[in-house]
């Protein structure tokens, strides 16, 4: 979830009407994270471990923190023992085979006149019951495996994982503190590569921009020149100001540029 800070236009400046035509196309803005996410736990619980520090770079899928799982861990061990046990399934399979063999023998004896119909029917009923017992045992074992998967999923929900590559800006909870689903995220992660610059430009200037267009960007503090790529041009002109919101992305490998730097963008 992108924060209000990441979505808010910071400032932009067009040079005065008396400036030259070339200068009038320079717009000033600020670098900011392209994404900012409050990473929350998917379940309530007590924080068991914080695995990262503020300022640390993380990758998408990396575990940031872990909630207490002692009860679930114990339940999983029990469920795995049940799932791995094949004794009941083997016993019912052996009994089913024995009952079916007896039924076949009695049917052969009946053909020769050495077994009556009642004996055959009782054997058939016994074989049917044995088959049903074996089927129930197999289904029970399958359910035990599903129970393992369910508990494993519950444990996974208690791992707080970063959804993006970025930097840990803030950790909001400590070990032993309790978190709930109604609270803000446990950690704040910002994606700094690429950086984003949000501008408001005049409607005519916006008409000359399109997604993918590369624009020259100057970092004011260092006069470093980089390239910005137009990511989004709003289809809506703001009625109050007559301006259009534009987003630029600046590649930032190794996080060489900081967020919050003033920059100047030259428009075509």
**Could you report the per-residue pLDDT of 111-156, keeping only the tens digit for each?**
877 778 888 899 899 999 999 999 999 999 999 999 999 999 999 9
Q: How far apart are the first and last CA of the chain?
A: 33
pTM equals: 0.73
Q: What is the mean pLDDT of residues 58-73?
A: 97
Q: Is the pLDDT of residue 12 over 80?
A: no
**Which ranges of 169-242 would DSSP assign to H, the alpha helix?**
203-206
Q: What is the mean pLDDT of residues 92-96?
A: 91
d(CA 31, CA 10): 9
Phi, psi of 24, deg, nearest 5: -70, -10
pLDDT score, position 110:
80
Instruction: Give pLDDT, residue 46.
Output: 96
Instruction: Compute CA distances 164 → 2, 37, 91, 198, whole Å.
Output: 12, 8, 51, 21
Question: Which pLDDT score, from 0 to 100, does residue 10 have?
Answer: 33
Helix (H) or strand (E) holding 210: none
CATH number listed for the domain at residues 4-42+185-266: 2.40.30.170
**Average pLDDT score over residue span 8-26:** 43
Confidence check: pLDDT of 241 > 70: yes
């Amino acid at each position: 979830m992108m924060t209000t800070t990441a979505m808010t236009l910071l400032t932009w400046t067009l040079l005065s009407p008396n400036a030259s035509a070339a200068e009038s196309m320079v717009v000033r803005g600020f670098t900011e994270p392209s994404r900012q996410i409050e990473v929350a736990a998917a379940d309530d619980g007590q924080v068991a471990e914080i695995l990262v520090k503020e300022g640390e770079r993380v990758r998408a899928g990396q575990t940031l923190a872990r909630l207490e799982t002692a009860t679930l861990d114990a339940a999983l061990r029990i469920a795995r023992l049940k799932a791995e046990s094949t004794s009941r399934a083997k016993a019912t399979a052996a009994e089913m085979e024995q009952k079916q063999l007896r039924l076949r023998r009695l049917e052969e004896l009946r053909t020769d006149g050495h077994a009556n119909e009642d004996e055959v029917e009782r054997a058939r009923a016994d074989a049917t019951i044995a088959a049903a017992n074996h089927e129930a045992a197999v289904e029970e074992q399958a359910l035990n495996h599903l129970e393992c998967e369910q508990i494993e999923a519950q444990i996974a929900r208690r791992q707080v994982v970063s959804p993006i590559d970025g930097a840990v800006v803030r950790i909001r909870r400590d070990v032993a503190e309790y978190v709930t689903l109604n609270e803000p995220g446990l950690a704040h992660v910002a994606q700094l590569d690429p950086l984003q610059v949000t501008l408001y430009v005049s409607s005519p200037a916006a008409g000359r921009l399109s997604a993918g267009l590369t624009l020259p960007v100057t970092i004011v503090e260092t006069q470093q020149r980089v390239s910005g790529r137009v990511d989004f041009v709003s289809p809506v002109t703001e009625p109050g100001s007559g301006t259009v919101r534009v987003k630029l992305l600046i590649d930032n490998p190794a996080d060489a540029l900081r967020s919050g730097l003033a920059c100047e963008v030259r428009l075509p």
